[in-house]
Amino acid sequence: MAYKLVFIDEEKDQHDQFMDYMDAAGEQFEVVCLYPEADLESMINRLEECHPDAIVSDFLLNEMKVNFKYNVPYNGVELVQSYRDMRPGFPCFVITSYDNDAVAEIEDVNLVYVKGLLTNGEQSNKAKFYDRIKAQIEKYKNAIELAQKELNKLLKKRESDTLDMAEEERIVDLDNFLEKSLDNYTSLPSQMKDSKNLRHLTSILDNIDTLLSKLN
């Protein structure tokens, strides 16, 4: 099964160049090229409609506006960080000729790659850029699978045993991660999450009672 990769750039020539580069990856990827939308929210919505497995964006998206006339008020770093805020850990990459500027803005410098690799070639003894994309996709999917298994294990344990506070908090964290990561995921009922707060409150009240008894 091919992974769906979305590439965002404001230049048609860059779209063609990226497609030429990705041809070397064979049938591992289905590549979709997009122009940036006029605002960040619209761009995020457009990406969600594509259901990508990974995103690659140019850094400067408002530099060479030949194929559209509107202003683009965000760059590739702002785009991928906004998407990762919505889907933590999602495979996103920024390619640029201005790597120092991009690195200065981004939270994770490992997401930035020099654009010249698409035209100047890559050293044969190093992993190709598309290999890195594939590895990050598989790492992300594996994290989701492990989270699902861990959540199911904790929920089964809760049915027959009492969970401690750390385990209750872990259930909520896992549920929140899966809810953000999977389009078709059904989150836990609110009362199941609220149990964490109830247990926490009970623990606090018990500690207060202990302190009061000592004072008396």
Q: Residue 201's pLDDT band (boundaries 50, 70, 90)?
A: very low
List, in sequence order, the alpha helices (H) in 23-164: 40-50, 76-86, 99-105, 117-120, 129-160
Helix, strand or coil, per DSSP, at residue 27: helix
The answer to whether residues 94 and 57 touch, using CB atoms and an 8 Å cutoff, is yes
Average the pLDDT over 176-186 and give the result.
Answer: 80
C-alpha separations of 69 from 24, 46, 62 in Å: 33, 18, 10
Query: What is the pLDDT, as a whole number, of residue 197?
Result: 53
Average the pLDDT over 106-132 and give the result.
Answer: 72
Helix, strand or coil, per DSSP, at residue 30: strand
Across all residues in the chain, what is the average pLDDT?
A: 83
* CA separation for the pair 72, 186 (Å, rounded): 35
Here the tokens at position 196 are 């964490």
Query: What is the pLDDT, as a whole number, of residue 14?
Result: 92
Here the tokens at position 91 are 């495979």
User: How many CB atoms neighbour CB 72 within 10 A?
Assistant: 20
Tens of pLDDT, residue by residue over 18-50, are 999 999 999 999 999 999 999 999 999 999 999
| Tokens 């020539």 belong to residue | 13
Point out which residues pair with 4 in neighbouring strands.
30
Tens of pLDDT, residue by residue over 55-72, are 999 999 998 888 888 999
Instruction: Please state the domain extents for the chain.
Output: 3-121, 140-215
- Which of 87, 104, 5, 8 is closest to 54 using CA atoms? 5
Tens of pLDDT, residue by residue over 96-107, are 876 666 777 776
C-alpha separations of 21 from 7, 120, 163, 185 in Å: 12, 11, 51, 34
Average the pLDDT over 6-10 and give the result.
Answer: 96
Give percent above pLDDT 70 in the chain: 77
This prediction's pTM: 0.81
Topology adopted by domain 3-121: Rossmann fold (3.40.50)
Look at residue 213 and tell me whether its pLDDT is greater than 50.
yes
Average the pLDDT over 88-100 and give the result.
Answer: 85
Helix, strand or coil, per DSSP, at residue 175: helix
